[in-house]
A and B are shown apart, each in its own frame.
Chain A
Amino acid sequence: MLFSLREILSGLIPLIFFAISLYSVTWLADGLSLIEPDSDFKSNRAVLAIRDSVPSFQQFGTELFTGPYLKSYYDKSFYFTQKTKKDKKEEIIEALVSLAKKYETVDIFLLAHTNKYLLWFQEVPLELRRKIRLVYNTGCHNANQGKEWLYLGADSYIGHKGKCSLSPFFYVYFLRRWVSGYSLKAAVDESNEKAKIEISILDNFLPDPGEMNYVDQSYGHLYGSETLIIDKKP
């Protein structure tokens, strides 16, 4: 016999425990199974994402997580990484215009610290701005842009109120739920719940948040249509 039973077990048991650990951790954190995108609906939508000027290592990380989802679930995706605050402004506006001309709907992901990209897109013609469907903004203190984005032409907007918002805790769950076909309200509510659990655990170890606790600061606020789903217009 090539291998004894003990040798086989010495290879098999660690792998079994590794699989159990992997399953337990992913289940504890987020037991969501992703779905395949519907190609008919997918062909009608595009997405624009912007990462602001932070260390390149951080920018790489954001793209590593976000990029594959956007490429898989949208017919066309533009992902911009900035080197300065106003870097690539013209290209970004041009990208939105070209996407809005070609596709029925365009979603926007603003993966940036407190920002005012809203002002950039005011330059885009109104008929094209109306193609903007969902805008998600990770920026601290940017929930207050909700009404302005809706006025600009977006169907829905999600932002965070806190000046020290831990938005990533919300975002990692939200993006996966949104592309999995959840309605916007369901995706936001569930992501808020998930984020709440994790932030509550960390809350005691973080610096004094001031008047608003971290859970409230990081809460994702939804403005506009609540019934939106990735596969169609509201």
Chain B
Amino acid sequence: MLKTFEKIPWAILSLSLQFLACCAAYYLYYIDFGYSNGRDFSFALSFSYFVLAIIGISGTFAALFGMGYTIAKEHLVFILIKLPLIFIPCLFLSVLWLYSCLVLLAYI
């Protein structure tokens, strides 16, 4: 279990999930969901809800585990680089996606 945990590239995983969020936003923006029709727009929102929920939850866990693993196992230099540049921004963004997901829940 611990060996599997150590093999996971947490920093890459965290960044990839945020990249996925960018791709989803790009996809949502450029695909025409038929905004002139309110109901079609709601379908578009439900898509973004799924994406935000998945990225929010998995991104939060990846950033938390990654941060913990880096502090526990890696050299101080890596801690000072990875935490402020990767894990803290990714954690904040993931929480933001989760919150956005809850806001969308209000209507969809």
State the A residues within 8 Å of B (CB): 6-7, 9-11, 13-15, 17-18, 21-22, 24-26, 29, 54-55, 57-58, 61-62, 64-66, 111, 113-114, 138, 140, 164, 167-168, 171-172, 205-207
Contacts and interface: CB of A to CB of B under 8 A. Distances in A.
B95 A21 contact: yes
B106 A65 contact: yes
A25 B68 contact: no
Shortest Cβ-Cβ A-B pairs, 9 listed: A168-B107, A10-B72, A10-B71, A58-B108, A61-B105, A65-B106, A14-B67, A21-B95, A14-B64
A141 to B, nearest CB: 10
Main secondary structure of the interface of B (DSSP, over half): helix
Interface string B85-108: 001100110111001001111111
Nearest to A139: B38
A138 B107 contact: yes
A7 B69 CA distance: 9
Interface residues of B, number: 35
Contacts, number: 98
B46 A57 contact: yes
9 contacts: A6-B72, A14-B71, A18-B60, A18-B91, A55-B43, A62-B106, A62-B107, A171-B106, A172-B106
B58 interface: no
Interface string B36-60: 1011011101100100000000001
Interface string B57-83: 000100111011101100000000000
A65 B43 CA distance: 18
Contacts of B68: 10-11, 13-14
Interface centre among B29, B69, B103, B107 (most CB of A within 10 A): B107
A124 B10 CA distance: 61
B104 A61 contact: yes
Given A21-B94, A24-B92, 20 more contacts: A6-B72, A10-B68, A10-B69, A14-B68, A14-B91, A17-B88, A17-B91, A18-B60, A18-B95, A21-B92, A25-B99, A29-B99, A57-B108, A58-B45, A62-B108, A65-B102, A65-B105, A113-B42, A167-B107, A168-B103
